[in-house]
Amino acid sequence: MKARYVYPLVLASIALAPFAQADDLSDWLKIDGFGTLGTYKGSSDVAGVRTEQRQRVVSYTDWRFDGDSQASIQATLNPHGKLKAVVQLISKKDVAGSNKPTVEWAYVAYPVTNEIDLKVGRTVAPIFMLSDYRNLNYAQTAVRPQSEIYQVNPITYQDGATARWDKKLGAGNVQLEGFFGKTKVSVAGGDVDLSRVKGLSLKYAQDSWSVRGGYSWYDASLKSVGVEANLKTLMSLPAAACANCATEIAAVAPIKGITATIKTLGAGYDDGEWIAQAEWAKRETNSVVIVGVSGWNVLGARRIGDFTPYVGFGSIELDGTKSNLTPGPFAPAALKAQLNYLNQSFIGTGDSSRDVLALGVRWDFAKNLALKAQIERTKLKSPAVGASNGYYSYETSMLGKPNGFDGRVSMFTLNLDFVF
C-alpha cells in the first residue's frame, strides 16, 4: 500500500480519537513522549566529528547542541485493542539544517492470529539489536547506538509491511520478522533512494539473554550533485590523460541500480546488574559510492545504585573493491596524484575505517530522567586519505597539502535523556 494513502488514514484515526464514545479517553488514545537535550565537542582543529551521518555540520573544538538533541511524541489509537494505529513524530536537526518534525512511524497493526502480527505503513526496519528503539536514547545504556555498527545501515524506517511470528520455544521465546518496502536516507554525502527493501530477522530470548540475526537486501540510487559532476568529468577525460576512466567508473561506481546486502548478528545480556552487548554487521555492494563495509562492537556495563558506568570498544573497516583509475601516457603529475587519491578514497568519499574506545557513565537521578557523559577516543586507520561525510570530516594529504592529522580524535558528549 502506498505511503500517501496509509499516513492520512492513520493520522485521521488519531485526530478523531477524542470524539470516540468512551468513558475514559485513555482506553482509546495513549500519548508517549521522549527526547534528549545534548551537547558534544570534538578535540581536533583539523578533523571534525558528527554524532551521526544524517548531519551536515561538525564540531572541531567547539561545543554544539544539535547532535543528539531531539523531541519526539508518539500517539497510539486503541492501545488495548487488537487493531491499533501508531504515529511517531521526531524533531531533530537533519542534513538540511531543519528541525521540522518528521514522521518516523505511521502504521496500522493487527494480530492475524495469536502468534502472527502484521503492520502496514511506515514501520521500523528490524536490522539491529537496537533498531526497535534506535531513537529512544533513554532506553539505551550509552549516549547513542555505536557508530561502528550503525554506519553499516543508516536506515531507521521503511514504507511497506512487516509481519512478525512470535512463539514460546522451550524456556524462551522466538521471534521471526519479515519486511519489505522502500525508504529514503539523506546523509552528508547526498540522498539515497532505497527500493525493494526486503529482509528477515530472527530473535531468541531467554531470561537475561537475547540473540538476534538478520539478513536484508535492497536496490539503491544515489542523488548527489557533487558526486555526479565528478564522475561525469572523469568519464569525459581522453585516454591520453586517463587510460580507463570511462570504463572503470562505469564498472565500479554506478550511482543507479546499486544492489546491497546486509548481514547482522548480535547478542545481549541484562540481569538487572550486569549488562553486556556484542554486535557484528557486514554490507556488500556493487558500487564504491556506497562502499562495502564491516564492523563490530562490544559493550559492558554494571548498575551500581543510580549509576551505570560502561565501556565499549569497536571497529569498522571499509572493505569494498577500490577503483583502479590508470593515468594515460600524457597525464600531468597533478592528475596522477588526483587519480591515486580517488583510488584510495573510494572515488573521493574518504576512508573512515577506525577503532573506537568509548567510556561513559549513566546517572538515573530522577524518575524518567537520565544524565549521560561519554568520551569516545577514535583512531582512524587511513588519516592521509581524508573523509568528507559519515561521522568524520577532514582534508586529504594525498594531494600535496599535509592535513596535520595523525588519525586520533576524541568526542565528548553530555546528554540528558527523558521520557514522559
Measured in Å, how far apart are the chain's first and last C-alpha atoms?
32
Q: How far apart are CA 180 and CA 195, in angstroms?
A: 9
What local confidence, expressed as pLDDT, does residue 2 receive? 45
- Bridge partners for 327 per DSSP: 242
CA atoms of 237 and 331, how far apart (whole Å): 10
- What is the Cβ-side half-sphere exposure of residue 366, based on CA atoms within 13 angstroms? 7
List the grid coordinates of 380.
Answer: 582512524
- Residue 250's SS3 state is helix
Per the listing, cell 540522498 goes with 191
| DSSP state at residue 419 | E
Q: What is the pLDDT of residue 97?
A: 83
Q: Specify the residue for cell string 561538525.
A: 58
**Can you tell me the distance from the alpha carbon of 414 to that of 221, in angstroms, rounded to the nearest whole number?**
36
pLDDT of residue 379: 97
Q: With beta carbons less than 8 A apart as the criterion, state whether 87 and 10 touch.
A: yes
DSSP string, 9-31: HHHHHHHHGGGS--S-GGGTEEE
State the Cα–Cα distance between residues 137 and 154, nearest whole angstrom: 16
- Domain positions in the chain are 3-419
Q: What is the model's pLDDT at position 143?
A: 97
Q: For residue 248, count other CB atoms closer than 10 A to its CB.
A: 21
Question: Position 329: which residue type?
Answer: P
* Residue-by-residue DSSP string for 251-262: HH--SSSEEEEE
Query: Could you give the CA distance from residue 67 to residue 63 in angstroms, rounded to a whole number?
Result: 10
State whether CATH 3.40.50.1980 applies to domain 3-419: no
Q: What is the pLDDT along the chain (420 residues), one digit of tens a residue?
A: 444 443 343 333 344 344 333 445 678 999 999 999 999 999 999 999 999 888 888 999 999 999 999 999 999 999 999 999 999 999 998 888 888 899 999 999 999 999 999 999 999 888 888 888 888 999 999 999 999 998 898 888 999 999 999 999 999 999 999 999 999 888 777 789 999 899 999 999 999 999 999 999 999 998 888 888 889 999 999 999 999 999 999 999 999 999 999 999 999 999 999 999 999 999 999 999 899 999 999 999 999 999 999 999 999 999 888 999 999 999 999 999 999 999 999 998 889 999 999 999 999 999 999 999 999 999 999 999 998 768 999 999 999 899 999 999 999 999 999 999
Q: What confidence score (pLDDT) does residue 17 get?
A: 40
Closest CA to 122 of 258, 269, 1, 223: 1
Q: What is the pLDDT of residues 258-294, one digit of tens each?
A: 999 999 999 999 999 999 999 999 999 999 989 999 9
Q: Strands 84-91 and 102-111, how do they pair?
A: antiparallel
Between CA 314 and CA 324 the distance in angstroms is 30
